[in-house]
Amino acid sequence: MIKILRNFSYFYIGFVVLSFLISWAADFPHLREVEQLHDGCYWTDALVPYIECRGLFANGLIRFFLNYWMQMIYIVIFSIYLVVLPIAILMWSPIGYLIWYHIKGKKRI
């Protein structure tokens, strides 16, 4: 069970890092540069900056992946609202588990 949790946590961190790298390396344009864009992704900032996509096959999935690393930051900021706090704990728990594993858990196994 511990190996499964550890591997899941490594996969999760890889997912977050990959989300960050792709969203920054792709160098998406800003909304003001592409007002007539029908297909593709661009940066927007309604309340907080994020990447919006239009006209793509898996639009929601692509947007979820590209924005996930930002959601991890925003969820901490908005966790002052107690409704969001359980989601913040769930999003950050794999990272917390790996920190615990490398500090304490490895010695017990």
CA 6-7-13 angle, to 5 degrees, is: 90
Structure pTM?
Answer: 0.80
Indicate if the pLDDT at residue 99 is higher than 60: yes
Mean pLDDT of all residues in 35-56: 78
Torsion over CA of 51, 60, 97 and 92, rounded to 10 degrees? Answer: 50
Sign of CA dihedral 23, 26, 31, 32: positive
Beta-sheet pairing, 40-45 with 49-54 = antiparallel
For residue 13, is pLDDT > 70? yes
Write down the pLDDT at residue 45.
Answer: 79
> Mean pLDDT score of the chain, rounded to an integer?
85
pLDDT value of position 107: 60
pLDDT at 97 over 80: yes
Residue 23, burial from CB neighbour count under 10 angstroms (0-12, 13-18, 19+): buried
- Least confident range of 4-13, 36-45, 56-65, 66-75: 36-45
